[in-house]
């Protein structure tokens, strides 16, 4: 059944780094007409760059230029890409090259989309990839989208969650070095991360909300044989506190077997302690299947689980499936659209 236009959530797609594959995967994704039955997608980016990507792809999609103030004039019809055009990308900016101009553009696209979400003019944000080095070169010193969105919304603490069709992983720490991550992990942070993951499962309506928590060391420390008691000091108290709430939480568990068990359906969520512990298993399952969701923000944000891919940017071969999946997740998570 086709959803009426007034019922479809407006999903803002931020263009990401204009020198990367973002413009191409956006144009490819918005070429899927069935997407428009479930949402009204609006790109926050640069219309000229989208047109350039369209030429590379041979896409027959018109661009409807909008401003942030005229987002309510989005057409929401297949064959036309509605774009809030910030017009910040020069026409001669090369694909596949690091650029502070593109880094600043990526920041501006997120800034505008976040403001629209906070105003209730859009119902969710779906982000194409940015380049951290380009972002820093433009003077925006954030490790990535997650931290940038937390800053823009004034949110003190958020969690990164990655999903595939068979696996959900939430992270206690993300974009910091391993030694710093171990130092940062403490019972309060672990407990709050588990709580955010439980809230996600509750919102999703899962009857079973079984959460598996990774250890830090090999074999989860094996009762003190490996490491310096990190599992007992940093993780076990948090698990005990969550069990006291009546939640089904198991751990600390060895990560190598926990991810296998989660993949076969034994757990509804895995709590990873650091970046690569959680990202590795998800990406082995395929970048086209992974979606990045920021948990704890006052706005809904999903993202592709891949980077800017400078090596293939501008060639038209980038795969749009991760962005399509991120859009589907954004649609499912989006709150009801406010009446005019």
Q: Is 5 in the same domain as 110?
A: yes
**Residue with tokens 């080095």, as numbered in its chain:** 133
Q: Is 121 in the same domain as 22?
A: yes
Residue 293: inside a domain, yes or no?
A: no
199/10 Cα distance (integer angstroms): 24
- Which pLDDT score is estimated for 6? 60
- Which pLDDT score is estimated for 291? 85
Q: Is 100 in the same domain as 26?
A: yes
Residue 187: inside a domain, yes or no?
A: yes
Q: How many domains does the chain have?
A: 2
- Domain containing residue 235: CATH number: 3.40.718.10
Which residues are CB-contacts of 231 (< 8 A; sequence separation ≥ 6)? 215, 216, 217, 220, 221, 252
Q: Is 143 in the same domain as 186?
A: no
Q: pLDDT tens digits, the chain, 340 residues: what are they?
A: 334 446 799 999 999 999 999 999 999 999 999 999 999 999 999 999 999 999 999 999 999 999 999 999 999 999 999 999 999 999 999 999 999 999 999 999 999 999 999 999 999 999 999 999 999 999 999 988 888 999 999 999 999 999 888 899 999 999 899 999 999 999 999 999 999 999 989 887 889 999 999 999 999 888 888 999 999 999 999 999 999 999 999 999 999 999 999 999 999 999 999 999 999 998 887 656 678 888 999 999 999 988 999 999 999 999 999 999 999 989 988 887 765 4
Residue 290: inside a domain, yes or no?
A: no
Q: Is 171 in the same domain as 315?
A: no
Written as six digits, the tokens of 324 are: 């399509």
Q: Give the distance between the most distant pair of CA atoms in the chain.
A: 63
Q: What is the pLDDT of residues 259-296, one digit of tens each?
A: 999 999 999 999 999 999 999 998 887 656 678 888 99
Q: What's the domain range around 3?
A: 1-158+298-340
- Which pLDDT score is estimated for 163? 87
Are the C-beta atoms of 213 and 235 separated by less than 8 Å? yes
Intra-chain end-to-end CA distance of the chain, in Å:
24
Residue 291: inside a domain, yes or no?
A: no
Residue 292: inside a domain, yes or no?
A: no
Residue 94, SS3 per DSSP: coil
175/147 Cα distance (integer angstroms): 9
Q: Is 152 in the same domain as 255?
A: no
Q: What is the pLDDT of residues 86-143, one digit of tens each?
A: 999 999 999 999 999 999 999 999 999 999 999 999 999 999 999 999 999 999 999 8
- Which pLDDT score is estimated for 2? 39
Whole-angstrom Cα Rg for the chain: 20
Q: Is 208 in the same domain as 104?
A: no
Q: Is 171 in the same domain as 222?
A: yes
238/231 Cα distance (integer angstroms): 10
- Residue of 23, 5, 15, 2 whose CA lies nearest to 76: 5
Query: Which DSSP string corresponds to 193-260?
Result: HHHHHHHHHHHTT-S--EEEEE-SSGGGGTTTTSSSSHIIIIIHHHHHHHHHTT-EEEEEE-HHHHHH
Q: Is 139 in the same domain as 185?
A: no
Q: Is 193 in the same domain as 111?
A: no
- pTM for the complete prediction? 0.84
Q: Is 41 in the same domain as 84?
A: yes
- Which pLDDT score is estimated for 287? 59
């Amino acid at each position: 059944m086709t959803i009426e236009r007034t019922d479809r959530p407006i999903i803002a797609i931020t263009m990401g780094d204009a020198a990367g594959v973002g413009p191409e995967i956006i144009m490819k994704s918005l070429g899927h007409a069935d997407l428009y039955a479930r949402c009204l997608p609006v790109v926050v980016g640069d219309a000229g760059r989208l047109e350039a990507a369209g030429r590379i792809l041979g896409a027959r999609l018109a661009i409807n230029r909008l401003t942030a103030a005229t987002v309510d004039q989005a057409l929401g019809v297949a064959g036309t890409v509605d774009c809030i055009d910030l017009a910040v990308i020069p026409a001669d900016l090369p694909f596949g090259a690091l650029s502070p101009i593109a880094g600043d553009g990526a920041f501006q696209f997120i800034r505008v989309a976040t403001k629209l979400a906070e105003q209730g003019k859009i119902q969710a944000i779906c982000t194409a990839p940015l380049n951290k080095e380009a972002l820093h070169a433009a003077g925006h010193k954030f490790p990535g989208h997650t931290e940038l969105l937390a800053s823009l919304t004034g949110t003190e603490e958020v969690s990164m969650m990655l999903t595939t069709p068979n696996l959900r992983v939430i992270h206690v720490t993300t974009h910091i070095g391993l030694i710093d991550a171990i130092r940062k992990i403490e019972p309060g942070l672990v407990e709050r991360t588990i709580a955010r993951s439980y809230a996600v499962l509750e919102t999703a309506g899962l009857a079973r909300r079984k959460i598996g928590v990774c250890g830090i060391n090999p074999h989860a420390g094996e009762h003190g044989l490996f490491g310096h008691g990190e599992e007992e000091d940093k993780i076990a108290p948090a698990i005990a506190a969550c069990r006291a709430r009546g939640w089904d939480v198991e751990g600390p568990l060895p990560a190598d077997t926990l991810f296998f068990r989660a993949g076969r359906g034994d757990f509804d969520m895995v709590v990873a302690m650091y970046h690569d512990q959680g990202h590795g298993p998800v990406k082995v399952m395929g970048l086209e299947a992974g979606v990045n969701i920021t948990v704890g923000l006052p706005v809904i944000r999903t993202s592709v689980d891949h980077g800017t891919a400078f090596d293939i940017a501008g060639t038209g071969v980038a795969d749009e499936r991760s962005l399509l999946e991120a859009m589907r997740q954004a649609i499912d998570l989006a709150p009801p659209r406010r009446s005019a």
